Amino acid sequence: MDRLRIYSWNVNGIRAAAEKGFVGWLKRCRGEIVGIQEVRAQPEQIPEELRAVGIQEVRAQPEQIPEELRAIKRWHQHYSIPERKGYSGVGLLSRREPDRIETSLGEDRFDVEGRLQLARFGRLVIANGYFPNGSGKDRDNSRIPYKLDWYRALFDRVQRLRRGGYRVLVMGDFNTAHREIDLARPKANRKTSGFCAEERAELDRWIQAGWVDTFRRFEPGPDHYTWWSQRFGVREKNIGWRIDYVLASPAAMKFVRAAFIKPNVKGSDHCPIGVDVDPAIFG
């Protein structure tokens, strides 16, 4: 096998995604590892077809996972669920069993939101994250300080993994468009969380530290987005944001052969993204 495919997808609610064909997509996608974000279900709400195979760690009762997901075969599964119901959450589905999965950044204020999985497969570590949005309850930018603290805590963690000799891929919904090319209307959104200067500067810090935006390594052009407002006609007009990424450490980037966005795959307000890697990345 020349390449293996690793996906990331904010499914905007696993139960809704299951009703819109997620399980069929999963069976067709030929993925080796699939990280999902914004699960928004207690484990017992994960569809049965997914739940039947290998939930290694959950933070609540498992009967909420939709039945069709619980029953799906040949996938190892792990879900990190927040304390607050109907909110956040991430999941990891993999053909191969991970050696270890961790979900903690070491602070309760981060861990209670169930936003992270660190999965080790040999020398590869996948950090599957649902990065916080900076918007507060009143649609202000009051959560930006928390968001940036979360970014920095994860940065410190994955930097340690790099120094430990691991090949690291950080993937998920980063909730930030990095450059003007990464959203359709940059001028109108300079004060909107997701494109504020301090959020973009944090992504700059990651890139300056050597992390590689895998998609931009292969595609420098405009009009490539991963999220669209659900307002009528917005997605059809491709008025979107690129806020989902796979960032690779330099050691991992040596094994990345392609990066992609799949805008035609529906079922969420986000679309799947990912990378194709040389199988030697696990070694």
Q: Hey, where are the domains in the chain?
A: 4-282
pTM over 0.85: yes
Is residue 278 annotated as a catalytic residue, yes or no?
A: no
**Closest among 181, 195, 270, 178 to 230, alpha carbons compared:** 270
Rounded percentage of the chain residues whose pLDDT exceeds 90? 81
**DSSP label of 181:** G
**Closest among 157, 65, 64, 84 to 116, alpha carbons compared:** 157
- Has residue 150 got a pLDDT over 90? yes
| Residue 65, pLDDT score | 66
Per-residue pLDDT, averaged over 104-109, amounts to: 95
| Residue 59, pLDDT score | 37
Rounded percentage of the chain residues whose pLDDT exceeds 70? 91
Per-residue pLDDT, averaged over 112-122, amounts to: 96
43 to 61, 106, 114, 128, 216: CA distances (angstroms): 6, 22, 12, 17, 35
Contact 76, 96 (CB under 8 A): yes
Q: Which of 138, 173, 213, 269 is catalytic?
A: 173
Q: DSSP 3-state assignment of 11? A: coil
Cβ neighbors of 66 (< 8 A, separation 6 or more) are: 14, 15, 18, 41, 45, 46, 47, 48, 49, 50, 51
Q: DSSP 3-state assignment of 142? A: coil
Per-residue pLDDT, averaged over 7-16, amounts to: 95
CA atoms within 13 A on the CB side of 54: 16
Tens of pLDDT along 31-83? 999 999 999 887 677 777 665 443 333 333 345 567 777 667 688 989 998 88
Interatomic CA distance for residues 138 and 173, integer angstroms = 22
CATH topology for the 4-282 domain: Deoxyribonuclease I; Chain A (3.60.10)
CB atoms closer than 10 angstroms to residue 57: 13
**Closest among 273, 227, 272, 278 to 251, alpha carbons compared:** 278
Structure tokens at 47: 């569809």
Give the alpha-carbon dihedral of 50, 55, 58, 61, to 10 degrees: 60
